[in-house]
């Protein structure tokens, strides 16, 4: 595999849910080493796109390639592919009866045969990378929201994945904790040689750390470019999203579209 091969490539992708097209005509290449922000209002299809990247949702049409290969249907091959993905869920997913260190150790104990002493050293390294080595023996209930999010990040990094996917990483965090998490995402991406995809609606917190931004709305990609280009865009749809305006080309009606309308 050459270094020029995109770590993620979506080609003419269409994703359906409940008999209707949620996203269509999606084309995207994510170069290695970059941070890509996938932005859009709630319900625009951001999480649906994430499901396609992780193999949870098969394309209705088109192609999804991750780590240089087409994402397979659920199988042992898909499980192997997922070992190369670090996913940070918005709910953290920490097990409450395990300490921070034990949570981070879970992927290592599940997917490797490493001895306990080495796992302990690796866990402490991951916690140190997110600034929480001293919290190794704390339980999730003893951690603040921002600290729990960083423990979940350390767990996502446990197997040294080349690709990190963040699903709404700032949900429920205060501005200070949000700033800490986003600066950590940038630092880890650069120091560990990762590629990161951040799925979020937190525009102003995410753009400063991103290399590229796409905006999803009305069933497709309505913008793709640098963060600077996004903020300078005069497109009414982009402006409506950035400014949080209720009226504009992005519809917020609650009525579901029929399959024919989609």
Classify each residue of 8-27 as buried b or exposed e, where b means 16 or more C-beta atoms within 10 Å of its C-beta. Answer: bbbeebbbbeeeebbbbebe
- Domain map of the chain by residue range? 32-58+73-84+162-262, 95-160
| Crossing angle for the helix pair 100-111 and 116-129, to the nearest 10 degrees | 130
**Element holding 20 (H helix, E strand):** strand 20-30
What's the average pLDDT block by block, 10 residues per block, for the chain (262 residues)? 76 91 94 94 87 92 93 86 88 90 94 94 94 94 92 94 93 89 93 94 91 92 93 85 72 48 38
Separation between Cα atoms, residue 198 and residue 210, nearest integer Å: 9
Q: How far is CA 87 from the centre of its chain?
A: 6
Which of the following CATH numbers is that of domain 32-58+73-84+162-262: 3.30.499.10, 3.40.50.620, 3.90.1640.10, 3.40.50.300? 3.40.50.300
Cβ burial, residue 190 (10 Å; 0-12/13-18/19+): exposed
Task: Tell me the whole-structure pTM to 2 decimals.
Answer: 0.88
């Amino acid at each position: 595999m050459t270094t020029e091969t995109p770590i993620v490539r979506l080609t003419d992708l269409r994703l359906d849910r409940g008999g209707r097209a949620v996203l269509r005509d999606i084309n995207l290449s994510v170069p290695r080493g970059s941070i890509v922000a996938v932005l859009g209002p709630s319900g625009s299809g951001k999480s649906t796109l994430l499901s396609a990247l992780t193999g949870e949702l098969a394309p209705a049409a088109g192609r999804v390639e991750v780590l240089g290969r087409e994402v397979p249907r659920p199988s042992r091959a898909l499980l192997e592919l997922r070992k190369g993905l670090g996913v940070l869920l918005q709910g953290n997913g920490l097990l409450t009866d395990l300490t921070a260190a034990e949570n981070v150790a879970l992927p290592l104990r599940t997917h490797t045969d490493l001895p306990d002493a080495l796992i302990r050293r690796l866990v402490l390294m991951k916690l140190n990378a997110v600034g929480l080595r001293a919290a190794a023996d704390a339980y999730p209930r003893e951690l603040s929201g921002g600290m729990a999010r960083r423990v979940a990040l350390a767990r996502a990094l446990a197997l040294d994945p080349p690709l990190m996917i963040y699903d709404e990483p700032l949900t429920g965090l205060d501005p200070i904790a949000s700033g800490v998490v986003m600066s950590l995402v940038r630092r880890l991406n650069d120091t560990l040689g990762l590629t990161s995809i951040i799925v979020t609606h937190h525009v102003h917190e995410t753009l400063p750390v991103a290399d590229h931004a796409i905006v999803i709305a009305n069933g497709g990609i309505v913008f793709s470019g640098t963060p600077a280009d996004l903020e300078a865009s005069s497109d009414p749809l982009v402006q409506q999203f950035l400014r949080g305006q209720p009226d504009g080309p992005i519809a917020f009606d609650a009525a579901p579209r029929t399959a024919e309308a989609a």
